[in-house]
């Protein structure tokens, strides 16, 4: 067990103690939503700390077995060491998640870029990749909004990802993803390059005091769902589009059969986008004070997925790469996520 993990456990114990003191104040229940959020944070922290303590006990038990020098226990000890090393790697990763929203759930949106059917197909491949990643981690995923492509694939999709530190793990996926392959939609079977943009936002609870939405600032349109499905297309108007008039932000949700549920989901996305807008404005103001220049553009790709003429997935920020492209497209993203988190920690001087 290294000192970094132990230090992080100590800081989490102090945070838990602080939050428990806040929870002792009866006044917190004046705002039930904020109170429930606080209690959930306490429960998650307590579970994490208990997990670390159990892990530390297993390490201690393993050391005692090793010191016994009993050869009959050697095989079991080697298996336990291997299991502990694997668990340590996963647990150490959570120590890199210390951002203000890292512990929150995430809202992930994929938008097909220019390139027609190929890019829309690529967006659907990314959707499958992230849904499979959620399955691997045991996270819940819910499609809030879905816009089907004209011939194949999707134009856009918004997915709510629920699980411990979902935003912290996924925030590094934000950016442009580039695919190079032989196009299945080209009669000449030529090589095509496709782009899709991934947006990742922390889900902001309704009780977050930093984001206040005035109902008078909203224009709400109700319309019929345009989702695919033939006879399953809604005959009633249940899809919801919300425009936040002061900022011009537009969000829509049409995946639920209930207009009320679609409205609630649209508000979830709107709160997250308003929080991101506020964060960007704060960064812009800070950059101006520092005399820095921030370029506002779609941006160059953060990761390339090459399926032809060779097999390679490479992250251009960390240089992490693998030739097992199929595994990545099947949701094996932890290597990329860990490399990004470690690179960010290194930049901030944490490691």
**Domain-by-domain residue ranges, the chain?**
3-94, 106-206+300-347, 215-290
pLDDT at 337 over 60: yes
On whether the CB atoms of residues 127 and 157 are closer than 8 A, the answer is yes
The predicted structure's pLDDT at residue 349: 55
State the pLDDT at residue 94.
78
CATH number for domain 106-206+300-347, candidates 3.30.430.20, 3.40.50.620, 3.30.70.1660, 3.20.20.140: 3.30.70.1660
Task: Please state the φ and ψ torsions of residue 46, each to the nearest 5 degrees.
Answer: -60, -40
The mean per-residue pLDDT over the stretch 184-196 comes to 88
Top CATH class of 215-290 equals alpha beta
Q: What fold characterizes domain 3-94?
A: Methane Monooxygenase Hydroxylase; Chain G, domain 1 (1.20.58)
Higher pLDDT: 346 or 250? It is: 250
Task: Write the pLDDT tens digit of every residue in 50-106.
Answer: 888 998 898 888 888 777 777 777 788 888 888 888 888 777 777 788 788 898 899
Q: In whole angstroms, give the CA distance from residue 77 to residue 243.
A: 60
Higher pLDDT, 41 or 213: 213
Mean pLDDT of the chain: 85
pLDDT tens, position by position, 124-156: 999 999 999 999 999 999 999 999 988 899 999
Residue 256 pLDDT level (bands cut at 50, 70, 90) = confident
Phi-psi map region of 248: left, alpha, beta (phi>0 left; psi -120 to 50 alpha): left
């Amino acid at each position: 067990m290294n000192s970094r993990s132990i230090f992080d456990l100590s800081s989490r114990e102090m945070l838990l103690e602080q939050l428990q003191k806040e929870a002792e104040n009866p006044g917190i229940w004046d705002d039930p939503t904020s109170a429930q959020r606080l209690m959930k944070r306490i429960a998650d922290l307590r579970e994490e700390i208990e997990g670390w303590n159990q892990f530390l006990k297993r390490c201690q038990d393993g050391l005692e077995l090793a010191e016994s020098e009993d050869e009959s226990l050697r095989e079991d000890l080697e298996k336990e060491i291997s299991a502990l090393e694997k668990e340590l790697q996963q647990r150490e990763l959570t120590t890199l998640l210390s951002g203000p929203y890292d512990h929150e759930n995430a809202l992930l949106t994929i938008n097909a870029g220019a390139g027609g059917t190929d890019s829309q197909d690529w967006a659907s491949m990314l959707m499958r990749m992230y849904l499979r990643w959620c399955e691997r981690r045991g996270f819940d995923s819910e499609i809030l909004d879905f816009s089907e492509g004209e011939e194949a694939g999707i134009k856009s999709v918004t997915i709510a990802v629920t699980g411990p530190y979902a935003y912290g793990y996924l925030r590094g996926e934000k950016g442009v993803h580039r695919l190079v392959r032989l196009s299945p939609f080209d009669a000449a079977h030529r090589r095509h390059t496709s782009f899709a943009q991934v947006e990742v936002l922390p889900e902001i609870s309704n009780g977050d005091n930093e984001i206040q939405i005035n109902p008078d600032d909203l224009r709400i349109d109700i319309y019929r769902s345009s989702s695919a499905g033939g006879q399953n297309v809604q005959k009633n108007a249940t899809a919801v589009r919300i425009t936040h008039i002061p900022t011009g932000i537009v969000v829509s949700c049409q995946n639920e059969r209930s207009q009320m549920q679609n409205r609630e989901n649209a508000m979830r996305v709107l709160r997250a986008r308003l929080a991101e807008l506020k964060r960007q404005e704060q960064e812009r103001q800070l950059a101006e004070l520092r005399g820095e220049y921030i370029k506002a553009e779609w941006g160059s790709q953060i990761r390339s997925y090459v399926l032809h003429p060779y097999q390679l997935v490479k992250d251009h920020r960390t240089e992490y790469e693998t030739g097992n492209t199929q595994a990545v497209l099947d949701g094996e993203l932890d290597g990329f996520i860990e490399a990004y988190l470690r690179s960010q920690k290194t930049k901030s001087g944490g490691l």
